[in-house]
Structure 1
């Protein structure tokens, strides 16, 4: 069972897409990042959507440069990738959402899968639910298994992968299922895309009276056709209410420099807002359904 009675130190990565010359280079990078956050007291580490695409740098150029060919070519590495993150979570005693990567299912389809690793070595995954135009139309990555809630030493977690955060009912379903902290790994290639995810995440924090942790990819990787431009800021968002920042931003990156955004997150205090906050967004959610139960009339003012 989770222990969410304490203040949790969370770390959100602003993660660059690097090119490697060997798998050992990837493992060394992963070890540096986890060690850095853990030595700063982080108990929960969140990495971004599609951070695993940097492993395509190990493929032959012709395959790396082909959006469709790179997907099956990544699969022989996937188990060792998960094992690398699992070992780091165990070694440092942290809960860790690893960078997502395309994952081939038994039926041949590819999904966008993010693995959540616990300090005990146990692991499970969350697949992206709603696919972007790029994923659907150009890349061939499709929706995977449904939503899950993860019971962890840092609390009950839900994961909304990038675009999923833009759909309020997905967040509501996770919260109703017991999630008290939502993780939003993201990968966006424009300022507009970044702000869509950021503002949606902040809206979900207000609507559901929960905290969200956003981790984006950052910087350029012009050798990659899938993740060539990366725009974002790592952040931790809270409700705009008693005891939290008025704008709901607990911490956020000020520029695109790779690194961690680390914050102390008081989950019990956030839970208390649902009972004694300035507003009752979470409890009042069903009222909108009542107000929409009848047909909306059109009123002429001509």
Structure 2
């Protein structure tokens, strides 16, 4: 059975959204376009939902207030994504959102919706300086891998993909595809995430999908500037491009990037590549310093 499918990675523009209805119409339009191009997986960026804060002028310019007005809307937004995933027979990684936990703290949560109606949630694990110092977003847990009809999928949110042990735990749990939604306000930030994504693809001999925010939103202290380009990356080895770049978008343009994923290529390169990075991980000095060999990911069945 073929394990090939089209992935759509968003270069998603942060805009001044007037209402929840306008936001939902925008999301539906974007997902409809991805479906029209045959995508079976659509990946939105980190914090894309923050554009909805513009619908609340008293809160849009205040970090704490913006969290408070958006939090109650996440369930409605999730219901929309769940319905669209069913309607279009598509897996959808929604834009990550700040979600308040039982302890009163907000965490950055990505949600993966399947056509079957199931939902997987991955919290961001390592907070950037902005999230820690200015926004007071708390670190989340645990590391997860989602078993889907498409295959085993991990999610490493933005800064998380810059740390090798997170993706490694996902790969050891079976992930052949890692999704990296991001939001970066400089080209340096974009390249840190992109280089991290390409490094994780090399180390784990897998695909990594990068989906960033783009555009300017001067009214938002959280999302005022957004730079980046979507990409699909793999290991520079047999069956993949020489540089590992399967596809990459045009910088800062609002659009989808469409590309084909073939998970059988991951199986093949892990078994008989020119090098065997995935298999040889434990041979690097200190790899087993933290028992058993670093963090462990839990598998969540979404089939």
TMscore range, shorter length? over 0.9
Distance 1:36 1:234 in 2: 16
Give the Å deviation of 1:172: 0.5
Distance 1:75 1:6 in 2: 37
Q: Structure 1, residues 76-124: CA drift from partner, whole Å, max 9, x if none?
A: 2111011111111111000000001110001100000111000011112
1:23 is aligned to 20
2:43 is aligned to 46
2:107 is aligned to 111
1:138 is aligned to 134
Counting only pairs closer than 5 Å after superposition, residues 263-278 of structure 1 correspond to structure 2 as: 263-278=259-274
Q: Structure 1, residues 234-269: CA drift from partner, whole Å, max 9, x if none?
A: 010011011211111111012321111111111101
Give the Å deviation of 1:291: 8.3
Q: List, as ranges, runs of 4+ consecutive aligned residues in structure 1 with deviation greater than 4 Å.
A: 290-293
**Matched position secondary structure for 1:146:** coil
**Matched position secondary structure for 1:283:** helix
TM-score, length basis structure 1? 0.93
1:191 is aligned to 187
**Does structure 2 retain, via aligned residues, the 8 Å contact 1:95–1:153?**
no
**Does structure 1 retain, via aligned residues, the 8 Å contact 2:282–2:288?**
no
2:230 is aligned to 234
Q: Structure 1, residues 27-52: CA drift from partner, whole Å, max 9, x if none?
A: 11011100101110100100000001
1:257 is aligned to 253
Q: Structure 1, residues 260-283: CA drift from partner, whole Å, max 9, x if none?
A: 111111110121101110001011
Q: 2:93 matched to 1:85?
A: no
**Does structure 2 retain, via aligned residues, the 8 Å contact 1:104–1:110?**
yes
Q: 2:9 matched to 1:12?
A: yes
Paired residue total: 289
Q: Structure 1, residues 131-166: CA drift from partner, whole Å, max 9, x if none?
A: 000000000111112111111111110000000000
Q: Structure 2 vs 1, CA of residues 291 and 220 (structure 1 numbering), >3 Å: closer, same or farther? A: closer
Q: Which of 1 and 2 has greater Rg?
A: 1
Contiguous gaps of at least 5 residues in structure 2: 290-303
2:299 is aligned to none
2:301 is aligned to none
Q: 2:31 matched to 1:34?
A: yes
2:243 is aligned to 247
